[in-house]
Homo-oligomer: A and B are copies of this chain.
Amino acid sequence: MSLREKKKIETKNRIFEVSGRLFKEKGFENTTVDEIAKEAGIAKGTFFNYFPTKEALLLYFGEQRDELIYNLIENETKRSIPAKEKITNLLVRLAESYEKDRELTKLLIFEYRRYIGYSGLRPDNSRSRRIIKILQDLLEEGMKNSEVKSHIEAKKAAEVLTAIYVHSLMMWVNADGDFSFSSDISGKIDLLFEGIGD
């Protein structure tokens, strides 16, 4: 590893850490790129060598967290409990991981979407793709164990679960602890498993 590579990694990390701190202190909008650069000890223009836009910091934050969480969670889904419980635990666990940095999480959820919406890029959307894949696998496993009806389309059901999760997460993040995510989403997953048609 050359000096260049080493310094590059260090600088990027320093920018990332400084910005994370400032976002928590003052919020995303009230934090300027200029002050991030100053605190990180670089020129403002240099910032953009590392992150293409201010919002890209949020994406990076999301990526960093994802790597950590999904590995933990994928291990967890290997336990021998019914599919429904696994799914609920997974989604509750996911939500809990956001508790520590609630403000950043809120920003990530809302700004991330804005960024995608404006960029004109077809969102790779690997994040929700990944959740859907995990849920789909769990559902297919549940089919093998006769816990999930075998004729349903697992991908579609996984998309429904993802929709429930995302929507509930947004309500929860906004509610500032006014209700229990766990019992809220459990109730909704119950509805899906049991069905509401008479």
Contacts and interface: CB of A to CB of B under 8 A. Distances in A.
Interface of A: 27-29, 84, 106-107, 109-111, 113-114, 116-118, 120, 122-123, 125, 139, 142-143, 146-150, 152-153, 156-157, 159-160, 162-164, 166-168, 170-171, 174-175, 184, 187-188, 191-198
Contact of A166 (B143, B163, B197): B163
Q: Count the copies.
A: 2
Nearest to A168: B163
A174 B122 contact: yes
Contact of A197 (B84, B120, B162, B168): B84
Contacts of A198: 142-143, 146-150
B118 A110 contact: yes
B116 A113 contact: no
Per CB-CB distance, the 9 closest pairs between chain A and chain B, nearest first, are A195-B195, A163-B167, A110-B117, A193-B197, A163-B163, A149-B198, A194-B195, A110-B114, A163-B164
